[in-house]
Amino acid sequence: MNSGNQTLEKSFKSRDVLAMAFGTMIGWGWIMLSGQWAASAGMAGAISAYIVGAVLCIFVGLVYAELTPAIPFTGGSVVFSYKAMGYWPAVFAGLATAFAYLGVAAWEGPAFTTALNYIVPIPEFGRLWTIQGSDVYLSVALISVIASVIITIVNYRGAKQAAVFQTIATVGLVAVGILFLSGGVAFGDIEYTKPLFTSFNGFTVVLLMVPAMFVGFDVIPQSASEMDVPLKKIPRILIISICMAAAWYMLMIFATCISAPGSVRTGGVIPVADAMAFAFGNPIWGKVCIIGAMCGILTSWNGFLYGGARVLFSLANAKMLPGFLAKVHPKYHTPSNAVLFCGGLSTFSCLLGAGALTWFVNASSFGVVIIYLMVSLSFIVLRVKQPEMHRPYKVKYAKFVGAMSVGVALFFAYLYLPMGPSPLVPIEWALVCGWFALGLILAVYAKAKNSHVTELERQSLLFRTEDEAA
């Protein structure tokens, strides 16, 4: 077990941070779900849901914008919650963050093979089992396992490599998105966009998905100790990344709707690819779309694996989880064991197939809501307890922003609870409760084993300065 303080290498420039956050947010979800959003709410209804969702998420983003440069240390929700509320709230926030990240990363492997199969059919042999009516074949699972191992190696070998990988994949995704939008405008038909609205219930269905689609800007505070960026620039990058993601989702909904009639958007295997092929009049363009989609899968996968490893490292380095997760690689300066742990979970999930996708998406979305709530509460508590704390960026109308941020988190939490309109199913609750039970057991073990660690020592581990790190 490691003792003493360990530091990560400052590798990220402003463009790296923006690419990490934006690429993680836009990912793959819109490729599969844009057609469903339009069918549920209508084009204008779906876009309206994203406008509302973006405004709500910006309140949370403003909270992050103040806290990240004020407490610029690896861990994000962990260091915010510890500073505001102490030991166990920090553990709880950290477990929620890791769960949300790894839950999304868990479905990237099956999504990757679904996309690849659209381009080149994958031979199905070696049937393993059936989950949610979806057969899992060894041949298909092996491809996603290989992809997961590669993503893990990229993260293991250094944050800079992960950032370069993220930037290249994000550029590829954006290029295909622009091509798709251009084709829809040039060759589509405004009649395809009707009906513009369906119902309020349809609007709510789309709004429910917004937290999962916007999660990703939280990787910015996770990378705080690895940023070579002036603190005053961090809030701007964070808010810009949210606005860029919101604009992207709305443009892609518009492009999907104008490119093809509803029967094409909802009747195919991958809605956006089918819509692009229809607009351009050739199935090859659907395959081009999927190449961009695969870039989106890789940006999300890379970003969430990166963030999950950092939050577990933050807890372990402060002796709040077992110490093996706190190891920093002597050559690559990455949290190597935490990366391997997260990569191992991601790789294992590849064996569960596409049938488990809904479980992971819904369960991880609930984890996102918990993160938002804990960070929002930390913002309010710190404004009361430590009004004199240095804040390179200070939010105006803090009471209103804090109240709205908590309200947003509670609103989204209600949607997932048993009394809400879209409650989690038992297996999803089992994933949530199982993760927190395991995490709390490990946290109790770590606390007992490290009972000799003083409060000052733990604060030094969480909130280390450059002088201390030297």
Q: Of the given ranges (32-41, 43-52, 123-132, 402-411), which has the lowest mean pLDDT?
A: 32-41
**Mean pLDDT value across residues 296-320:** 88
Q: Of the given ranges (10-14, 364-368, 374-378), which has the lowest mean pLDDT?
A: 10-14
Is 37 a member of any domain? yes
Is 179 a member of any domain? yes
Q: For residue 7, what pLDDT is reported?
A: 55
Is 407 a member of any domain? yes
Q: Does the pLDDT at position 468 exceed 50? A: no
Domain that holds residue 192: 14-469
What is the tens place of the pLDDT at every residue in 274-290? 899 999 999 899 898 88
Is 5 a member of any domain? no
Both tokens assigned to 374: 């804990």
Q: Does the pLDDT at position 4 exceed 60? A: no
Q: Does the pLDDT at position 438 exceed 90? A: yes
Q: For residue 394, what pLDDT is reported?
A: 93
With bands split at pLDDT 50, 70 and 90, how would you rate the model's confidence at 296?
confident
Is 138 a member of any domain? yes
CATH number of the domain that residue 215 is part of: 1.20.1740.10
Q: For residue 6, what pLDDT is reported?
A: 53
Is 163 a member of any domain? yes
Is 461 a member of any domain? yes
Could you give the percent of the chain with pLDDT greater than 70?
94
Is 9 a member of any domain? no
**Mean pLDDT value across residues 13-40:** 80
**Mean pLDDT value across residues 356-382:** 89
The verdict on pTM exceeding 0.95 is: no
Q: For residue 364, what pLDDT is reported?
A: 86
Within 194-283, where are the H helices? 200-214, 219-222, 234-259, 262-267, 271-280
Q: Does the pLDDT at position 382 exceed 70? A: yes
Number of domains in the chain: 1
Q: Does the pLDDT at position 469 exceed 70? A: no
Higher pLDDT pick, 199 / 1: 199
Residues contacting 79, CB < 8 A, separation 6+: 71, 73, 90, 221, 314, 462, 463
Q: Does the pLDDT at position 337 exceed 90? A: yes
Q: Does the pLDDT at position 171 exceed 70? A: yes
Q: Of the given ranges (182-186, 231-235, 266-270, 374-378), which has the lowest mean pLDDT?
A: 266-270
